[in-house]
Every structure is written in C-alpha cells, then in structure tokens.
Amino acid sequence: MKKKVLAIVLCLAVVTALVFGLVACNNDEEAKELELPAFEGIVNPDYSKVEIKNDFKIGIICLHDDSSTYDKNFIDAANKAIAELGLTKANVIFKTNIPEDSKCKTAAEELVAAGCDVIFADSFGHEKFLLEVAKANPNIQFCHATGVSAEASKLANFHNAFASIYEGRYLAGVAAGLKLNEMIANGTITAEQAKMGYVGAFTYAEVISGYTSFFLGAKSVCPSVTMDVKFTGSWYDLTAEKETAEALIEGGCKLISQHADSMGAPSACERAGVPNVSYNGSTFEACPETFIVSSRIDWAPYFKYIITQTAQGKAIDTNWTGTLTTGSVVLTNVGSKAAAEGTVDKIVEVRKKLANGEINVFDTNNFTVNGEKVTSFKADLDGDFVGETEVCYDGIIKESFLRSAPYFDLRIDGIKLLNEKLG
C-alpha cells in the first residue's frame, strides 16, 4: 500500500513539474529583433540629377550565390542601389558561383560582350583575372572589392574598394563583451573563463584586422576577455566552419564569431546554445536563441557611386573606403534572447564616438604585442607581404587610410591562434 501511495505521489510530482515547466516555457520571452537605430551622421549624395541611359549595364561577379551570407550581401546591395537610382533589373547582370580562377576571366569577358559599362567582382582571388580583362578593355570600368592592385596597376579603369568594417567589428565586439559581462554577473562563467572563439577563413590581413578589432571591442567593456582563433582555409565551407565552431566550443569558448561565409558556425552555436556574433548579415531567423548582432559592409553606397560616376564619364577613386558616415559600415538589429540588456544603447553610444574620432579602434594604448606597446607599424601596401610604409601616427594605427583593403596584421596579446591557413 505504501508503495502504491508513493508511486501516486511521485506521479503527481512529475505531472506538477511538467505543468510548471510548460508554464515557464510559455511565459518565456519570445525571441525578437531589437531595432538598432540608423546612424544619424550618414551623408547621402544627391544623385537625382544624374542622367543614366536606359541601356546602362553593371555586371557583378560573385564567388557564390545568395546562399552565402557574403555574396548575398553584395547581391542585395546591388539590387538596392539599382532601385534607388530608378533603374531596373535589366540594368544589372549577375554572374554567380564564379571561382577564383580563369572562370572569372571568362565571366568578365562575357559581361564585356553583354555591353556592361562597369564590371565589379566581389572576392579577393578574382582580382588578377579581372585585371587582365581591364587591360584589354580600357573603355570599360572595372571595380574590385578587397583587392590591392589598383594603385600599382596604373590603369585608369581599374579600382579597389572596401570599407572601415573594423569599426563595425569593434561595435559587434562591444556587444559580445557585454554578453560576457552578463554571463559573469549571473555566475554562468567566471571572469577568467571569458574566452571567445573566432572562425577565420585565412590568415590574411583582412581577417586579422577583423578579428583583432572584434576582440578590442569586447575588451573595451570586458577587460578579462581572451580569444582563440582557428582558420578553415576556405571562405565558404559549411562543414569546416561548423566543425571549427564546435571545436572552439569544446575548447571552452563561451561565445563565437567568424569571418567565414556559410551558416556553419551560427548553426553550430544554435545547436549548442552558445551566443554568436555573425558577419555580413543577420542570422536571427535561423538562430533566434543565440544570435546577438552582425556587422556588415553595405555596398549600396559604392554601387551607386560607381554607376553614377561611370554614367557621367567621371573618374572613380583608385581606392575607395566606405565609412560610418557614407552608410557603408552598418550593424543589424539585435537579437533579444542572446544579447545582454543595454546592448542597443551601448552600440549607439560607441558608434557615435567612433564616427567623431573620440574612439580609435587601433589605439596602441589599448593593446600590446609580446607585452610591449607598439610604437611603429609599417603596412604592406603593394601586396608583397612586406611592410614598407609607416601608418602609426600619434599612437594610432590608421587602418585602411592609405589603401582601401585592410593591412593591419599584428598578433596582439590576448588572442591565441590555434592554427594558420594561407591560400
């Protein structure tokens, strides 16, 4: 009899627990996006009086298609620019899934044959092939993202472009640091356990600059933070990025970010319940429980610039660097479930200080290399991987100042590289 009574009591306890559990789940706040106000200091050029012929065409070469967050960012920006200039889809030709080999040259030649007035390619490895076609077609403008060869080429029709995305990465890092602080405050981790993981593609300056600025943003609000970086050796590898994120989590990383283009890392974080700061676009819909924020370059201002300059027969900058004030460096809305309280307000605060120069990402007072303060940094501006030009002025390393593509490649203290991958 006692056993029967005990069994009944236990059953009631289980049912009660389940009921309360369901109530708790139902009362749990639904994941939503917290709106991040647009930066108020954007200066928008007036293109309303620029006449663009009906048969004007821009050709865009993408490494992948819109399944890649990286390439989707370019595709969306091009479509946005076309619409805002009053053009139609007939004015843009996309070439997607173009690898970094001779197929890029073929794609560019096909765009020339299709009557494109300006041709743009979005990946670093496209550059040398695009350059070949530019040399053979001096009357057509060629523009390339992330490249380094425009200045040295001396071609009037070949141009490089990038943005001060290190500032966006820094802001995303601030959001990450706030999350770590929250985890420390609620006892989830100790200050000594505040370690982030970063999934990188290659050990290039562009990636180093990005993960360093992200780390410095986190460190600005969470002084005890450290970071492990592991490279995949590919810009887009769903499996490798997923497995790398999983390895970093297994290695004790409490928050993950990345400079890689697939959903591998964000999806791994969602499955593991680990906060994630993505790149090149929001992953909120796929990862509502773990998405904090994402930084990206909005290429629409550049696309509008090169279209209108070409339409008017005006020169395009050899090196063009978008900024917060051009509307080129942006952050997504913030994920409510994963982000710490006050994240939106803090991003707005720091963003303003970055724009007015009150905060400089690579201020040498805020980091060391091998325990020593940096007093000089010579950037590699000609692509030979040898630094030859001083870019440290008054204790600040001026990233993307003398060239649009990043050149910061110092290995600062607090960041551990678990491997190296060069293409």
Q: What CATH number is given to the structural domain containing 200?
A: 3.40.50.2300
Q: Is the pLDDT of residue 297 over 80?
A: yes
Residues 229 and 120 placed together within one structural domain of the fold? no
User: Are 123 and 183 found together in one domain?
Assistant: no
Q: By percentage, how much of the chain surpasses pLDDT 70?
A: 93
pLDDT at 28: 59
Comparison of pLDDT for 146 and 23, the residue scoring more: 146
Residue 267 has pLDDT above 70, yes or no: yes
Q: Are residues 175 and 256 in the same domain?
A: yes
- For the chain, the three-class secondary structure string (H helix, E strand, C coil) is CHHHHHHHHHHHHHHHHHHHHHHHHHHCCCCCEECCCCCCCCCCCCCCCCCCCCCCCEEEECCCCCCCHHHHHHHHHHHHHHHHCCCCHHHEEEECCCCCCHHHHHHHHHHHHCCCCEEEECCHHHHHHHHHHHHHCCCCEEEEECCCCHHHHCCCCEEEEEECHHHHHHHHHHHHHHHHHHHHHCCCCCHHHCEEEEEECCCCHHHHHHHHHHHHHHHCCCCCCEEEEEECCCCCCHHHHHHHHHHHHHCCCCEEEEECCCCHHHHHHHHHCCCEEEECCCCCCCCCCCEEEEEEECCHHHHHHHHHHHHCCCCCCCEEEECCCCCCEEECCEECCCCCCCHHHHHHHHHHHHHCCCCCCCEHHHCCECCECCCCCEECCCCCCCCCEECEECCEECCCCCCCCCCCCCCCCCEEECCCCCC
pLDDT at 281: 87
Give yes or no: residues 104 and 202 share one domain.
Answer: no
The predicted structure's pLDDT at residue 384: 77
Taking residues 249-275, report their average pLDDT: 96
Whether 409 and 265 share a structural domain: yes
Q: What is the pTM assigned to this prediction?
A: 0.90
> Quick one: 124 and 251 in the same domain?
no
Q: How confident is the model at residue 404, as a pLDDT? A: 94
pLDDT at 385 over 90: no
Mean pLDDT of the 3-16 span: 39
- Shared domain for 120 and 239, answered yes or no, is no
For residue 367, being part of any structural domain is answered with no
- For residue range 41-84, what is the model confidence (pLDDT) as tens digits? 999 999 999 999 999 999 999 999 998 889 999 999 999 999 99
**Is residue 290 a part of any domain in this protein?**
yes
Q: Is residue 264 part of a domain?
A: yes
pLDDT at 364: 98
Same domain? 172 vs 158: no
Asked if the structure places residue 39 within a domain, the reply is no
> How many domains is the chain partitioned into structurally?
2
Residue range(s) defining the domain that contains residue 74 = 58-164+299-322
- Arithmetic mean of pLDDT over the chain: 92
Both 135 and 208 in one domain: the answer is no
Q: What is the pLDDT of residue 25?
A: 36
Same domain, 224 and 345: yes
Same domain, 217 and 339: yes
Question: Does residue 175 sit in the same domain as residue 208?
Answer: yes
